[in-house]
Amino acid sequence: MQGKLELMLGPMRSNKTAELLRRAEMRRQYAKQHVMVLKPSDDTKGEPGVVESRNPNGHAKMRAHEFNSANPWEVLDVLAEEEQRIGKRVECIAIDEGQFVNELFLFVKHLLDAGHDVLVAGLDLDFRAMPFGEMLNLTWLVNAYGGSITECMAYCSCGARALYSQRLIEGKPAPYDSPIKVPGDAYEPRCTEHFVLPGRPH
Ligand SMILES: [Zn+2]
Where do the structural domains in the chain lie, given as residue ranges?
5-152, 154-202
Q: Is 193 labeled as catalytic in the residue annotation?
A: no
Strand partners, 167: 187
Share of the chain above pLDDT 90, in %: 84
Task: Summarize the confidence of residues 134-151 as an average pLDDT.
Answer: 98
Phi, psi (deg, nearest 5) at residue 188: -140, 150
pTM of the model: 0.92
Domain 5-152 has CATH 3.40.50.280: no
Stronger pLDDT, 161 or 180, i.e. the higher one: 161
- Phi/psi for 94 (5° steps) reads -110, 125
Please determine, looking at this structure, whether the domain spanning 154-202 carries the CATH number 3.30.60.20. yes
Mean pLDDT of the chain: 93
Higher per-residue pLDDT: 202 or 79: 79
Interatomic CA distance for residues 152 and 154, integer angstroms: 7
Q: Is the pLDDT of residue 180 over 80?
A: no
Q: Would you state the pLDDT for residue 51?
A: 76
pLDDT band (50, 70, 90) for residue 57: low
Q: Choose, from 19, 52, 97, 134, the residue flagged as catalytic.
A: 97
Q: Which residues are within 5 Å of ligand 1 (an ion), measured at CB?
A: 156, 158, 160, 191, 194
- Confidence grade of residue 49 (pLDDT, cut at 50, 70, 90): confident
Across 17-39, average pLDDT = 96
Q: How far is the CA of 98 from the centre of ligand 1 (A)?
A: 26
